[in-house]
Amino acid sequence: MTTARVTFARRLVSTLLMWAIGLGTILSGYEQLFFITISGLGLLGLWEYYEMLDRRGIPNFKLTALITAVIFFIGSFYTFRSVDHHDKSYDFEIAVLVVFLMVVFGRQMFRRTRDKNPLETMVYTLFGLLYIVWLFNFLTKIVYLPPRDAMGYTTGQYYVLYLVLVTKFSDMGAYVVGSLCGRHKLVPHISPKKTWEGLAGAMGFSFAGSFGLWMLIPVRLSVFHAADVAVLGLLLGFTAVLGDLAESIVKRSIDAKDSGGLLPGIGGVLDLMDSLLFTAPILFFYMRLVLGLPTP
């Protein structure tokens, strides 16, 4: 079996496994399982980020950031799911980030270090929390953004399913079309394999996936109309490519090929969720600002 076929087979197995976990979580309807899955993936992605920094010899406050991330996920989940505390959700997020910033400064002040640039340590540490934990936590917000059903169960998990499907269709479109007919480089100084043809494929696949799922479960995605599905299909497809390129910038900056090796054929968890880090906030703010759903 050729190397390309081996990579494809491994990628397929990893993809099917992650889809099984995702669908099982969403269809279960258990809010605690949503929390475990979202926070677990977020913490794994954050761990991989700091591991990449460690391999590059870049000093950071990994343990402080991981503890903060745990507090962030637990507190966010509690405030978002508590009907009487929706107005406190953003206050909690801001409070955690402010305290984390102060702690990072405090650690740097009293740390005996030979770092030539202490600011680098603090910036890399803070960036990890913002880039991975804060952005990925928009999935939790989407879960609790739409109103609950008549039985009191959440309905937002189906919009998370929509988000993941459209985002991954974009990734698949970029990979398939780019591999088959990619000729014109998109941003070769960031990612040599990305092409304009791949971008077109990403947006075409995401557009098709957007309409496909909406037509399959229209009742579960009732806040969307055809125009929303069309706009989001293109918007999320384009944003997914930006999210993938953003992680490429991070990896290139610290001389890493993959964020990890947990998922054969894909790389690490951060490689899996990089597109979602950008598409999740876009979907959330579209539902809030364009569709006018109330703040969770």
Question: What's the maximum distance between 2 C-alpha atoms anywhere in the chain?
Answer: 60
Q: What is the DSSP string of 216-245?
A: HSTTTTTT--HHHHHHHHHHHHHHHHHHHH
Look at residue 296 and tell me if it is in a domain.
Answer: no
Task: Give just the sign of the alpha carbon dihedral 277, 279, 284, 285.
Answer: positive
Structurally, the chain folds into a number of domains equal to 1
Amino acid sitting at position 27: L
Return the CA Rg of the chain.
Answer: 20
Eight-class DSSP state of 289: I
What is the number of other CB atoms lying within 10 angstroms of the CB of residue 28? Answer: 13
3-state secondary structure labels for all residues of 119-180: HHHHHHHHHHHHHHHHHHCHHHHHHHCCCCCCCCCCCCHHHHHHHHHHHHHHHHHHHHHHHH
pLDDT for residue 41? 93
Look at residue 237 and tell me if it is in a domain.
Answer: yes
Domain ranges, residue 180: 3-290
CA distance 90 to 267: 33
| SS3 state of residue 192 | strand
CA distance 249 to 54: 17
Mean pLDDT, 10 residues at a time, the chain of 296 residues: 62 74 80 92 95 90 95 91 66 89 86 67 93 95 89 90 95 88 84 88 96 95 96 97 93 83 76 94 96 77
The model's pTM = 0.91
CA distance 223 to 145: 11
Look at residue 32 and tell me if it is in a domain.
Answer: yes
| SS3 state of residue 101 | helix
pLDDT for residue 39? 95
Eight-class DSSP state of 193: E
Helix H or strand E segment including 186: strand 185-187
pLDDT for residue 192? 81
The encoded tokens of residue 147 equal: 């109103």
